[in-house]
Chain A
Amino acid sequence: MICREAQTRKADKNMSGNALKDTKKLQASFVPPTPSAPDTAQEHSETANQKHIRSIADEITEKTFQNVSLCYQCGKCSAGCPVRFYMEVAPNKIVRLIQLGLYEEALNSNTPWLCAGCLTCSTRCPNSFDLAKFMDAVREVALEKGVEVGERDILNFHKAFLDQIKHHGRSYEVGLVADYKMRTLNLLQDVDSAPGMFVKGKLSVLPHNVKDKKSVKEIFEKTSIKKNQTPL
């Protein structure tokens, strides 16, 4: 139904030339193969694959091993989300946007970045949809596509943290904070807790290194995200 509606709208737009600016153009990512009665099952699936346009929803499914259509939009995830109040878009709506193929809206929002990964939603989901895992994949796709991230500070923190791991194998708080501050230019944030931590001997001036630093660095190199695989 969605598919047909979208086509009609497209046709309307083509004719009049000025469709409403806020009309969402929906597109089905899956074009069913024509019933040309192929001979074997194998050929059948090949035909289907050729017609299949790999969408972001598919990429997410591949990363998470779960069907995005599992979510039936009850909203229990959003209802229990501890950081819901700070989000621009409710978590269940992110799933909905992905289901509808409205990727830009989903990927641009700050919601995935605010998700704390606490698993409350995944634990309570009535249809056993692991939303936390889904959010991981959404963020990953956003990075792959080079989308403008809604919460730059949070991303910078993650980058700073992972930099420490990459170079030392373990987290090094002083380096982390310095790196984070350089990235965010948020020089005054958190200065109140750091001196206390030094006094209490919690922060060491030197990094904690693993012996086999090379092996950790290698993991980072081998798994690094390839940007801009396909445009959004």
Chain B
Amino acid sequence: MRFGYYPGCSQTGTAKEYDISLRKVIGKLGVSFDELDDWSCCGATSAHVTNHKLANALAMRNIALAGTQGIDNVVAPCAACYNRLVLSQYETMHHPEIKAETEELLSAKFTQDIKVMNVLELFMKIGLGKIIDNRKHELSDLNVACYYGCLLVRPAEITKFDDAEQPVSMEKIVEATGAKTVDWNYRVECCGAAHSIARRDIVIDLSKKIIDDAVDNGANVMVVACPMCHTNLDMRQRAMKRVYPGHKEFPVLYLSELIGLSLGMNEKELGIDLHYIDFKYDGNILKNTVA
């Protein structure tokens, strides 16, 4: 199985470990990526909140690249990139005037929809059976709070992948690693995302609420599928402790890292040591492991 791959800027910097772990994990599952050549930033929040034409064009530049490089499905592991690519493509394909304008701007032709996938769709497509078949550890002592954040499943009418309010796909994937999932309330709440730098106070408040609810509902680790969420929930915990002195550190993993652990990779291989909040897994090993 091969998929097109649009890493997104974070994967080359703050979310390096997400990129590392994802590539390793899919390799183990017999899947490979064709990285989109010369991909550029999707425009992220900053473009669409200030200039809709710019936002559209920046995202569509990458869709155009996929078209010319013969890639018809692209995995965008960052939820924000995924959302921008999906929404821009939807807008462009549904409004002839935008399509004409964007085509002229980029000197490109959009003839068919490029299937943009998030990391949940990717693992669903690879098949949960593959994870179960290849797992070396059953992560049964982990009680995982699956955090979708806001952009992964929204808007459901356009992303057409999972329920926008009560999604289930991440839980299914996590359960395939043998870990348990907890039912909690903040699965699709927003962490503050782009305000991480300019309004850190907001981000800290929102992220604190999210972590607290996960803890209250019995989680001992949180799993995310978005570099922005991870930055806010992991890195901001240090500042969180200053604002909320009683705050206890809580580990936050990328989905790919969790799967990697169950496939037998260690923390260093997966880049978990790059997190601000330490996480060491010393769980049970499957008795009938294949060496």
> Do A and B touch (CB < 8 Å)?
yes
Residues of B within 8 Å of A222, CB to CB, are: 57, 105
Inter-chain CA distance A86–B192, complex, in Å, is 12
Q: How far is the CA of A26 from the CA of B268 in the complex (A)?
A: 64
In angstroms, Cα B266 to Cα A153, docked, is 40
Select the stretch in B6-14, B23-31, B244-252 that faces chain A: B6-14
Q: Is the CB of B199 within 8 A of A165?
A: no
Minimum Cβ distance to chain B for residue A159 (Å): 8
Q: Say whether chain A's binding surface is mostly helix, strand, loop, or mixed.
A: helix
Residues of chain B contacted by A103 (CB below 8 angstroms): none
Alpha-carbon distance between A117 and B158 when the two chains are bound, in angstroms: 16
Shortest distance from the beta carbon of B65 to any chain A beta carbon, whole Å: 9
CB < 8 Å neighbour of A140 from B52, B156, B238: B52
CB distance from B183 to the nearest CB of A (A): 20
Contact of A157 among B9, B39, B95, B198 (CB under 8 A): B198
Asked if B151 and A157 make an inter-chain contact with CB atoms under 8 angstroms apart, the answer reads no
Interface residues of B in 137-170 (CB under 8 A from A): 150-151, 154-156, 164-165
A158–B193 alpha-carbon span in the complex (Å)? 13
Is A123 within 8 A of B197, CB to CB? no
Residue of B nearest to A161 (CB): B46
| Given A120-B190, A122-B155: A140 touches B50 (CB 8 Å cut-off) | yes
What sequence of 0s and 1s flags, for each residue 106-119 of chain A, a beta carbon within 8 Å of any chain B beta carbon? 00000000111111
How long is the Cα–Cα vector from A46 to B150 in the complex, in angstroms? 44
Whether A117 lies near B52 (C-beta < 8 A) is: no
A interface list, Cβ under 8 A from B: 63, 65, 82-83, 86, 114-120, 122-123, 130, 135-137, 139-140, 143, 151, 153-159, 161-162, 165, 169-171, 173, 177, 180, 184, 189-190, 192-193, 196-197, 200-204, 208, 210-212, 215-216, 219-220, 222-225
23 pairs, CB–CB < 8 Å, chain A vs chain B: A65-B95, A82-B206, A83-B190, A114-B202, A116-B45, A117-B194, A119-B83, A119-B150, A119-B154, A123-B154, A123-B155, A136-B55, A143-B51, A154-B199, A158-B49, A165-B58, A190-B200, A197-B14, A202-B14, A203-B14, A208-B13, A219-B57, A224-B54
Chain B interface (Cβ < 8 Å from any Cβ of A): 9-10, 12-14, 16, 38-41, 43-55, 57-58, 61, 83, 95, 105-106, 150-151, 154-156, 164-165, 188-190, 192-195, 197-200, 202, 206, 235, 238-239, 274, 276
A165-B43, A216-B40 are known; give 17 further A-B pairs, CB within 8 A: A63-B52, A119-B154, A122-B155, A130-B155, A140-B50, A143-B50, A156-B198, A162-B50, A189-B200, A192-B239, A193-B238, A202-B16, A208-B12, A215-B61, A216-B58, A222-B57, A224-B54
